[in-house]
Amino acid sequence: MSIEAIAVFCGSKKGNNPVYIQHAQMLGKIIAENEVKLIYGGGSTGIMGAIADTVMENGGIVIGVIPQKLVDWEHQHENITELFIVEDMHTRKKKLYELCDAAVILPGGLGTLDELFEMMTWNQLSIHNKRIFFINSEGFYDQLINHMQSLEKNGFLYDKLYERITILDDPAQLNQYLL
């Protein structure tokens, strides 16, 4: 699988653990060094801003997609390669999925989970077949992963969970998938 553009879903806030920003910066450097385009939510704050800034600082390409309603709230990023301002969240998610070959999930809140679950649902429905990587920063997604394993165990998934997702503890582990 060739990955030329990767969507990163993550928080517009920094969270309480400094490792979340550290992992975003590590991932940003890896994306830029591997000449992969970053596709993300278009914000300049939190984990979103950290990864975009790091990709740009390392000579990479950053494409943001942000709905008009969030332009002021999330402080659209002014210093990225390209920014699409779209009508609404549904259009944003569709555009993010169209532009990427795979997705990485960093820590984030409800919006991150919304993007993740829609992408996983579209995988299940064969709308697309894009790999999803979780960066499980210091166990941030342990409970969610356990719940998804329970969905599989209890017969609510159409595919094996790990056919579509890959759990990584550290951003450096993504390198093997970008070669």
pLDDT tens column, 85-142: 999 999 999 999 999 999 999 999 999 999 999 999 999 898 988 999 999 999 999 9
Share of the chain above pLDDT 90, in %: 87
Buried b (16+ CB within 10 A) or exposed e, 131-146: bbbbbbbeebbeeebe
What's the CATH number where 29 sits?
A: 3.40.50.450
**Residue from 27, 14, 157, 22 nearest 103 by CA:** 27
- The number of folded domains in the chain is 1
Predicted TM-score (pTM) of this structure: 0.95
Range of the domain at 42: 1-84
Whether residue 121 lies inside any domain: the answer is no
Whether residue 9 lies inside any domain: the answer is yes
Whether residue 78 lies inside any domain: the answer is yes
